[in-house]
Amino acid sequence: MGVGWRWQARWRFLAAPLVIWLVLTSGGATALRWAQQRGRAGLMQRFEVRLDLLGDFVGSYVADLIDRERAQAVALLADPVVTQRDFARSVAGFGYPAAVLLDSRGRLLHAVPADASQTGQDLTGRYPHLRTAVLQGRPAVSQVVPSVVRREPVVAFAVPYETTSGRRVFSGAVAITHSPLSSYLASAWSLVGIRVQLADTGGAIAASNGAVDSARPLLADGDPDLARALARRAVGRYRAGGRWWRYASLPIPGVPWRLSATVPEDVLFASVHGNETAGRVAVATAAGVGLLVVAAAARSRRHRCELLASEQRFRKVFDHSRIGMIISNPRGTFIRVNPAFGRMLGRPPDELVGMHFADITHPDDAEAGLDILADCLSGRLESFELEKRYRHADGHTVEVVVTSAMLRDESGRPQFFATQIVDMTERHALERARDRQQAELAEHADQLERTNAQMADFIAMLSHDVRQPLTGVVARGDLLLEEWPELPETERIRYVRQMTAAGHRADHLVGEILMLAQLDAGAIVARPRRVDVPHAVLEAVAGHGPSPDHPIGVLAPDRTIAFADPAHLRLILGNLLGNALKYGAPPVTVSVVNRPAHVEIHVADSGEGVPDEFVPHLFERFTRADSGVALTKAGTGIGLYLVRQLADAGGISITYRATSPHGATFVLTLPQAAHPGAAVETRPLNARGA
């Protein structure tokens, strides 16, 4: 009974500590399990983030390589004839062991190494990426294929570009056993036993951090367990060789490749394995609670050291990237800037840290960037791609493509932006130069077409208007020669007068043609000087001779001075008077009006006027109205064109006004003499012109 009582008392004292111990043990076990899951999830997340960074690098590497291929091809391989030496030199600039140049039909023009047996053959049937580049005109990256000339597994980058001889395709190939991407994958991750590889859609390995068997480059042959796991899910775990493996994969945009990485779990979770063991030991004994805290702190410090090492590796990739990279806070202020971005803007990276992106953005693009920043902070966007312009330190504009993603913490709050910047200045400059060249070619083509049309009109005019009076002269001359004795005197005189009129008509046409040729050649130069306008008008009227049927009235002050080339003014007035007498009706009047700043000459007739629909074309070359009195009169359509050209050359303006209720008026506007001391033309008129 005493023994039982003692056990009952002991149990009573032990019950509470035992319960507390059980509670602490259960709580510690639960906390340990939660910490293990969080730790492993965090390491797996960093594993996937690192894989995303590798994928971004591969995508950027391919895009940059394609841009450089196109730029070099346009610069060096666009001539109508490309020599094998020039092609080999271009290929050597990229370090490609093999490359081909195709024409617009997919036929081989050149290859490195040279293979005469393949020259001229269509390769598009054997290589889908070449077919895509030739037929669709867009860059294409191949799967793992046998080289055209070296007969070894390669991946190729086919880039189409346009030349004056049509489309061409430049394709460089890299052997999978010596791929630069393989070298990068081998140095990008330091985990022991990790396997990183790029595989195409057919399962062939394009690049790997390990050795690749060129005879059997299939992932299913080199790592069948991983291949089966990837066929089921993009991310997960599998068991192979007595160990559990963690893997992740992602597609590379724009290329038929998928990047995957697999690592043993004991390696991936090595940094938390000690924590897990220490936690289990601490939970197994109540006295180990304090030791668990100490051990956890030590393991936490170790974990921070590993994170620091991971950060250093990330910094190495960040600092040595060939594209600009930025980490900024949610407000858009730069926290970290890599040297590539500093070189892009001509500024030290340290100078950019602490600056806001709007400080270096072109003013016209700043507002769009602020709007996108607001959309990201509000949750409407998680990432974006934007073309914008930055300001270089020396003041010039840098055109870029910005790709940015917002990273948030576990609660969804914005932490920072991870941004990549690609310099597009040179590429855009090449595109603008190409557009300018195309515009110039189109302009030259339009000029040639207009010239051809003018030549056709000119030939048509020669064949009709010039030939007609000459034919009349020849026909009447032959008639006079054959029938001279039989013809009465009046008929002979009539024929001679008709021949004379036709000759004058031909002479006038030849004069207009010669004047037109001189204008086109730029051989006619106006030499304006002070001219007595009423005197010049009277002289032009007198040049038409007396005509009782068509008198010409002149209304002018005694002496009005203007600034014009006298010879050109006489030609202009002669053409206008001839048009008024030919197409108009009497009375024909020439008026001189003296204005404060200029002098106007009005040449008016009382005919039917110019049809309204023809007024916009009145002063164009070889144009004639297709209605009204113009259909009953012979003409070349160059008289008023010559008038406009001579007027423009001498600083004279000419306009047409319809006269109410009928008739036509041409108005010449002459500037007043600019130099009072200039000579004034005052040659006396003959008796007929007085």
What are 311-347's pLDDT values in tens digits? Answer: 777 777 777 888 888 888 888 898 888 898 888 889 9
- 211's tokens: 């050795």
Quote the CA–CA distance of 393 and 386 in Å, as a whole number: 22
Residue 686: per-residue pLDDT: 32
Average pLDDT value over all residues in the chain? 78
pLDDT digits 0-9 by tens, 92-151: 888 788 899 999 899 998 898 887 888 889 988 888 989 999 999 899 998 888 876 667
Quote the CA–CA distance of 589 and 577 in Å, as a whole number: 9
Closest by CA to 373, choosing from 365, 389, 424, is 365
At residue 248, what are phi and psi to the nearest 5 degrees?
A: -150, 150
- Overall average pLDDT of the 405-421 stretch: 85
**Res 14 pLDDT > 80:** no
Query: Same domain for 565 and 610?
Result: yes
Look at the block and give the residue holding tokens 């001279």: 484
- 530's tokens: 């002070």
Residue 17: per-residue pLDDT: 66
Confidence grade of residue 522 (pLDDT, cut at 50, 70, 90) = low
- Overall average pLDDT of the 38-53 stretch: 85
Closest by CA to 240, choosing from 250, 229, 256, is 229
Task: Please report, for residues 18, 534, 638, the alpha-carbon distance to residue 7 in angstroms, rounded to integers and kept in the order given.
Answer: 15, 147, 135
Give the HSE-up count for residue 260: Cα atoms under 13 Å, Cβ half-sphere: 26
Yes or no: say if 246 and 262 are a contact pair by the CB < 8 Å rule. yes
Yes or no: say if 649 and 522 are a contact pair by the CB < 8 Å rule. no
Residue 292 forms part of a structural domain: yes
Query: Same domain for 649 and 544?
Result: yes
At residue 553, what are phi and psi to the nearest 5 degrees?
A: -90, 145
**Res 185 pLDDT > 90:** no
Domain boundary among 502, 519, 536: 519
Quote the CA–CA distance of 423 and 400 in Å, as a whole number: 5
**Res 448 pLDDT > 90:** no
Q: Which helix (H) or strand (E) holds 159?
A: strand 153-163
Yes or no: say if 512 and 486 are a contact pair by the CB < 8 Å rule. no
Residue 247: per-residue pLDDT: 92
Query: Same domain for 632 and 546?
Result: yes
Residue 3 forms part of a structural domain: no
Residue 375: per-residue pLDDT: 85
Residue 674: per-residue pLDDT: 55
Look at the block and give the residue holding tokens 């290589």: 127
Residue 295: per-residue pLDDT: 45
Confidence grade of residue 168 (pLDDT, cut at 50, 70, 90) = very high
Residue 10: per-residue pLDDT: 52
Quote the CA–CA distance of 584 and 655 in Å, as a whole number: 17
Query: Same domain for 436 and 535?
Result: no
pTM given for the model:
0.40
Q: What sign has the CA pseudo-torsion 406, 409, 414, 418?
A: negative
Residue 451: per-residue pLDDT: 62
Closest by CA to 663, choosing from 552, 589, 569, is 589
- 455's tokens: 């030549």
Confidence grade of residue 303 (pLDDT, cut at 50, 70, 90) = low
Query: Same domain for 196 and 287?
Result: yes
Q: What sign has the CA pseudo-torsion 85, 91, 97, 101?
A: negative
Residue 629: per-residue pLDDT: 56
Closest by CA to 55, choosing from 203, 172, 188, is 188
Amino acid at 602: H
Residues 6+ apart with CB under 8 A from 352: 334, 337, 341, 342, 345, 360
Query: Same domain for 332 and 452?
Result: no
Residue 689 forms part of a structural domain: no
Residue 1 forms part of a structural domain: no
Query: Same domain for 198 and 112?
Result: no
Closest by CA to 203, choosing from 238, 229, 235, is 229
Amino acid at 70: R
- 295's tokens: 């051990």
Under DSSP, is residue 369 helix (H, G, I), strand (E, B) or coil?
helix
Domain boundary among 469, 490, 519: 519
Residues 6+ apart with CB under 8 A from 529: 563, 564, 565, 566, 678, 679, 680, 681
Alpha helices in 233-338 (DSSP H): 265-268, 270-284, 288-320
Confidence grade of residue 565 (pLDDT, cut at 50, 70, 90) = confident
Chain centre to alpha carbon of residue 97: 32
CATH number at residue 442: 1.10.287.130
Burial class of 190 by CB neighbour count within 10 A (0 to 12, 13 to 18, 19+): exposed
Q: Length of the chain in residues, anyone?
A: 690
Query: Same domain for 532 and 504?
Result: no
**Res 166 pLDDT > 70:** yes
**Res 603 pLDDT > 50:** yes
Query: Same domain for 270 and 224?
Result: yes
Amino acid at 279: G
**Res 450 pLDDT > 90:** no
- Overall average pLDDT of the 606-633 stretch: 67
Quote the CA–CA distance of 590 and 605 in Å, as a whole number: 9
Chain centre to alpha carbon of residue 420: 22
Residue 40: per-residue pLDDT: 82
Residues 6+ apart with CB under 8 A from 370: 332, 358
Yes or no: say if 197 and 205 are a contact pair by the CB < 8 Å rule. yes
According to DSSP, the β-strands at 588-594 and 552-555 are parallel
pLDDT digits 0-9 by tens, 475-489: 677 777 777 877 788
**Res 187 pLDDT > 70:** yes
Residue 155 forms part of a structural domain: yes
pLDDT digits 0-9 by tens, 198-244: 888 888 888 888 777 766 678 888 888 888 888 899 899 999 888 89
Query: Same domain for 345 and 490?
Result: no
Q: Which helix (H) or strand (E) holds 44?
A: helix 2-76
- Overall average pLDDT of the 186-193 stretch: 78
Yes or no: say if 326 and 339 are a contact pair by the CB < 8 Å rule. no
Confidence grade of residue 677 (pLDDT, cut at 50, 70, 90) = very low
**Res 653 pLDDT > 70:** yes
**Res 31 pLDDT > 50:** yes
Quote the CA–CA distance of 530 and 536 in Å, as a whole number: 11
Least confident of 161-175, 290-304, 675-689: 675-689
Most confident among 50-54, 286-290, 677-681 (mean pLDDT)? 50-54
Most confident among 179-183, 431-435, 579-583, 673-677 (mean pLDDT)? 431-435
Residue 627 forms part of a structural domain: yes
At residue 139, what are phi and psi to the nearest 5 degrees?
A: -60, 150
**Res 293 pLDDT > 50:** no
Residue 617 forms part of a structural domain: yes
CATH number at residue 675: 3.30.565.10
- 348's tokens: 């030290």
Burial class of 331 by CB neighbour count within 10 A (0 to 12, 13 to 18, 19+): exposed
Look at the block and give the residue holding tokens 């204008």: 519
Structural domain that includes position 92? 77-178
Residue 627: per-residue pLDDT: 52
CATH number at residue 209: 3.30.450.20
Q: What sign has the CA pseudo-torsion 34, 35, 36, 38?
A: positive
Domain boundary among 423, 452, 475: 423
At residue 386, what are phi and psi to the nearest 5 degrees?
A: -145, 135
Query: Same domain for 173 and 183?
Result: no
User: Is the pLDDT higher at 439 or at 525?
Assistant: 439
**What is the percent of the chain where pLDDT is above 90?**
6
Query: Same domain for 233 and 145?
Result: no
**510-520 CB burial, b ≥16 within 10 A, e <16:** eebbebbeebe
pLDDT digits 0-9 by tens, 364-395: 888 887 888 888 888 888 888 888 899 998 98
Counted domains in the chain: 5
Q: Please, what is the end-to-end C-alpha distance for the chain in angstroms?
A: 167
CA dihedral 439, 442, 448, 452 (to 10 degrees): -150
Residue 326 forms part of a structural domain: yes
Residue 534 CB coordination number (10 Å): 21
Task: Please report, for residues 97, 217, 291, the alpha-carbon distance to residue 177 in angstroms, rounded to integers and kept in the order given.
Answer: 12, 9, 52
**Res 11 pLDDT > 90:** no
